[in-house]
Amino acid sequence: MAMSFNSILGLNENALLLRAKRAEILASNIANANTPGFKARDFDFHKALKVATSQQTSGLSRTHQSHFSGVDSNLPVRLQYINPFQAGTGDGNSVDLPSQQVAFAENAMEYQMSLRFLNGKIKGLLSAIKGE
């Protein structure tokens, strides 16, 4: 019986790609915390994963015309500006550094979790192939 990598890996491939993209965006926000006029951005991971998974199962391309420019066209990411929790500093920067650092740490842990889950699936497949 033939198996495809999409059916084996499931949504983990998309989750890893989206987590990596979110890490880039959050790191950019953190790096620009002191840049006057910089506007923090992020995307809804769960919505993007749902779109990527539904497009993958329906055989559609993962690109869409309404995606923002500057974002990897293979990912269903719709960047949005973040409203800061604290009042502005007067320089137009909207980065709330503590919340961005927490979001980055959570995203890193979830990336590691997805990677470990995927690694477990691959090890299980290798055991099955070897007949162990």
Mean pLDDT, 10 residues at a time, the chain of 132 residues: 64 88 97 94 93 72 42 70 77 92 97 92 89 84
Task: State the residue range of the domain holding 36.
Answer: 5-130
Rounded to 5°, the CA angle 6-12-13 comes to 65
Which of 65, 56, 63, 68 has the alpha carbon at shortest distance from 25? 68
In this prediction, residue 6 carries a pLDDT of 65
Residue labelled with tokens 């926000």: 29
Backbone angles phi, psi at 41, to 5 degrees: -130, 160
Does pTM top 0.85 for this prediction?
A: no
Q: How many domains does the chain have?
A: 1
In this prediction, residue 55 carries a pLDDT of 76
In this prediction, residue 23 carries a pLDDT of 97
22: left (phi over 0), alpha (psi -120 to 50) or beta: alpha
